[in-house]
Amino acid sequence: MKTSVVNNMFKQKYWIRFELGPVALEEKAYFNEVMQRSSSICNFLFSENDEVHVINRISYLKEKSKHEKLDMHRFFKTKQTVKNLEHQVIPYEYEDDEQMVTSEYRVRVKFEDIKMSYLLTAIANQDFGRKPRVHGNVMLFNSTKQILLYIYDDRGCDVYGVSKESLLPLYYQYRSWILDYDRIHIDNVFEEGLAGVFETETERSARQYANELKVKSTDINLYSNNTCHISHMLEIPNDQSKQFEEEIGGTGFTLRLQSKDQDTSVYQVTKTEALALINYQSELMNLYSKKYGGVYCSWEIARAF
- Per-domain residue ranges for the chain? 5-174, 201-303
The beta strand positions in the chain, using DSSP E, are 14-19, 51-61, 86-91, 100-110, 137-142, 147-151, 156-161, 227-237, 254-260, 264-274, 295-303
HEC secondary structure over 31-42: HHHHHHHHHHHH
pLDDT tens for the chain, residues 1 to 305? 456 899 999 999 999 999 999 998 988 999 999 999 999 999 999 999 999 999 999 988 887 756 666 788 999 998 777 778 898 888 888 877 788 888 899 999 999 999 999 999 999 998 888 899 999 999 999 999 999 999 999 999 999 999 999 999 999 999 999 999 999 999 999 999 999 999 999 999 999 999 999 999 999 999 999 999 999 999 999 999 999 999 999 999 999 999 999 999 999 999 999 999 999 999 999 999 999 999 999 999 999 87
Say what the pTM is: 0.93
The CATH class that applies to domain 201-303 reads alpha beta
- Burial group, residue 273, by CB count within 10 angstroms (0-12, 13-18, 19+): buried
Residue 65, pLDDT score = 59
